[in-house]
């Protein structure tokens, strides 16, 4: 049995070693609870059982538990520059034993492990069973949906090396532009400019799994809001960003 109220108390216990009022840490705490809400939204829309819904919410609570040590130790959220926060998260849970503080029974361990370890990968690994794959898809979508909320409400400097004096004049790298127009996720290794990083966030839409996820993006107008958070003072970038806007909005409409 999953007691989510108790799990939230354990989560607060885990956070006692971190400054929960610090901008970047607070952002991730709010994000965690946002992902719980989006996981519930998706799971209920899929008409899953109460057990599956509660499991999806628990995975939402645990999915970024590795982020806090990453930020404290490396001062950033870029996995390829510091550490893979999903891998560290499952270490905390399954090697350090925190999972038994969250939930006493081990019947969900494999599902939780597979969902968390896959939530930040470019694509889900092969070989997962039906329930593992379902929960992995839910957490990946929920994470991306709340990331759109974060990108539209939080101070940009808490998320990446945002510098308004330079980003507004940057260009979009050819590989990033081409990949987006081909309706594919952006590989982090292809990102060169800060604009590239921002566009890679918008490209999350190309990895969404459920119709309710596309509806959430459309209902909140997140494509246009995300694009419009940055000023584009480079003439070439202005032209390309409008092509990206058109591509993204058309894709959302098609998926609906």
What tens-digit pLDDT sequence spans the chain (256 residues)?
Answer: 899 999 999 999 999 988 888 878 888 999 999 999 999 999 999 999 999 999 999 999 999 998 887 766 655 545 455 578 999 999 999 999 999 999 999 999 999 999 999 999 999 999 999 999 999 999 999 999 999 999 998 877 766 677 777 889 999 999 999 999 999 999 999 999 999 999 999 999 999 999 999 999 999 999 999 999 999 999 999 999 999 999 999 999 999 9
Whole-prediction pTM value?
0.93
* The pLDDT of residue 99: 97
Q: How far apart are CA 72 and CA 17, in angstroms?
A: 10
14 by Cβ neighbours in 10 Å (0-12 / 13-18 / 19+) ranks as middle
Q: How far apart are CA 147 and CA 139, in angstroms?
A: 12
21 by Cβ neighbours in 10 Å (0-12 / 13-18 / 19+) ranks as exposed
Q: How far apart are CA 67 and CA 81, in angstroms?
A: 13
Specify the 3-state DSSP secondary structure of 124: coil
Structural domain spans, the chain? 1-155, 164-256
Specify the 3-state DSSP secondary structure of 3: coil
Query: Which helix H or strand E contains 116, and what residues bound it?
Result: helix 109-118
* The pLDDT of residue 19: 85
Domain spanning 1-155: which CATH class is it, in words? mainly alpha
Q: How far apart are CA 138 and CA 19, in angstroms?
A: 29
* The pLDDT of residue 210: 98
219 by Cβ neighbours in 10 Å (0-12 / 13-18 / 19+) ranks as exposed
Q: How far apart are CA 34 and CA 66, in angstroms?
A: 17
């Amino acid at each position: 049995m999953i007691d989510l109220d108790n799990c939230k108390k354990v989560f607060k216990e885990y956070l006692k070693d971190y400054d929960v009022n610090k901008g970047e840490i607070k952002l991730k705490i709010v994000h965690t609870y946002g992902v719980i809400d989006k996981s519930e939204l998706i799971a209920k829309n899929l008409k899953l059982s109460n057990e599956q819904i509660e499991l999806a919410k628990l995975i939402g609570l645990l999915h970024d538990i590795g982020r806090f040590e990453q930020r404290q130790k490396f001062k950033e959220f870029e996995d390829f520059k510091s550490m893979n926060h999903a891998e560290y998260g499952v270490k905390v849970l399954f090697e350090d034993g925190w999972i038994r503080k969250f939930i006493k029974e081990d019947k969900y361990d494999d599902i939780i492990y597979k969902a968390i370890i896959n939530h930040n990968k470019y694509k889900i690994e092969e070989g997962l069973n039906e329930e593992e794959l379902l929960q992995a898809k839910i957490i990946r979508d929920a994470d991306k949906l709340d990331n759109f909320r974060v990108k539209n409400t939080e101070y940009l400097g808490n998320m990446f090396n945002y510098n308004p004096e330079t980003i507004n004049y940057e260009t979009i790298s050819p590989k990033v532009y081409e990949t987006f127009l081909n309706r594919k996720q952006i590989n982090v290794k292809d990102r060169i400019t800060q604009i590239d990083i921002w566009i890679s966030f918008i490209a999350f839409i190309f990895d969404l799994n459920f119709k309710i996820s596309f509806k959430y993006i459309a209902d909140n107008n997140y494509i246009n809001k995300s694009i419009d958070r940055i000023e584009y003072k480079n003439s070439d970038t202005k032209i390309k960003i409008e092509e990206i806007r058109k591509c993204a909005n058309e894709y959302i409409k098609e998926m609906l």
